[in-house]
């Protein structure tokens, strides 16, 4: 009797194949799943990573940029770009084959939140290794380190969204870090 029970699903599947002329309908293909983030549905995820039970996300809206940190669905910290984007700075470091890094710095008073993504270059002993994290610094030039978070899970970084920051920012915004300034360092 158990053999008949086990054979029944096979017989149903065979009957379905025969009744469709041997073709099987394929399920509709879904788009790539959006990574877990603190971004709203109408925002692009520039960066997101899980830090234990919390997420750190950078979100690009039509005319604003947001940094959020906290549990999924309940950010504890939210810093939005000011109307002139004077609290947003971008930078990067390029070495000759050793490390490539891009970062966005959000400033809230005297506290700076630096979200960075890194990839080791061809001359590094581990070329192509990717890493990222968030640095929290305090002081006019970030002289006091408050926290250094390393992303241990796979991070999501959208380079095209990062490149589109200038399109969302006010026309006269120049958020580039000052060359040789206190924040133009490798994080």
Residues 95-113 have pLDDT tens digits of 877 789 999 999 999 999 9
Is residue 105 within 8 Å of residue 135, measured between CB atoms? no
Is residue 47 within 8 Å of residue 60, measured between CB atoms? no
Q: Which two tokens stand for residue 71?
A: 């549990």
Q: Where is 6: in which H helix or E strand? A: helix 2-19
CB neighbourhood size of 186 (10 A): 12
Distance CA 184, CA 177 (A): 6
More confident residue, 12 or 125: 125
Question: What's the pLDDT tens digit per position in 138-173?
Answer: 999 999 999 999 999 889 999 999 999 999 999 999
Distance CA 39, CA 19 (A): 47
**Which range has the worst mean pLDDT, 78-82, 117-121, 160-164, 173-177?**
117-121
pLDDT at 158: 95
pLDDT at 32: 60
pLDDT at 117: 95
**Percent of the chain at pLDDT above 70?**
83
Q: Where is 160: in which H helix or E strand? A: helix 159-163
Q: Which two tokens stand for residue 177?
A: 């870090």
Average of per-residue pLDDT across 166-186: 93
More confident residue, 166 or 17: 166
Distance CA 73, CA 43 (A): 14
Among candidates 74, 80, 46, 89, which has minimal Cα distance to 175? Answer: 89
Is residue 101 within 8 Å of residue 93, measured between CB atoms? yes
Distance CA 108, CA 153 (A): 27
Question: What's the pLDDT tens digit per position in 37-63?
Answer: 999 999 999 999 999 999 999 999 999
pTM exceeding the 0.85 threshold for the entire prediction: no
pLDDT at 152: 93
């Amino acid at each position: 009797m158990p053999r008949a029970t086990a054979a029944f699903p096979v017989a149903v599947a065979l009957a379905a194949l025969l009744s469709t002329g041997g073709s099987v309908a394929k399920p509709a293909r879904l788009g790539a799943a959006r990574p877990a983030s603190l971004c709203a549905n109408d925002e692009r995820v520039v960066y997101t990573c899980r830090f234990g039970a919390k997420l750190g996300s950078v979100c690009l809206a039509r005319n604003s940029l947001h940094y959020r940190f906290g549990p999924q669905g309940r950010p504890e910290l939210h810093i939005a770009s000011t109307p002139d984007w004077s609290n947003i700075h971008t930078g990067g470091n390029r070495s000759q084959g050793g490390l490539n890094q891009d970062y966005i710095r959000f400033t809230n008073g005297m506290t700076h939140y630096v979200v960075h993504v890194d990839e080791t270059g061809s001359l590094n002993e581990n070329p192509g290794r990717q890493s990222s994290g968030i640095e929290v610094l305090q002081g006019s030039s970030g002289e006091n380190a408050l926290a250094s978070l390393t992303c241990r899970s796979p991070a999501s970084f959208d380079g095209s969204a990062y490149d589109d920051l200038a399109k969302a920012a006010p026309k006269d915004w120049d958020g580039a870090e000052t060359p040789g300034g206190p924040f133009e360092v490798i994080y």
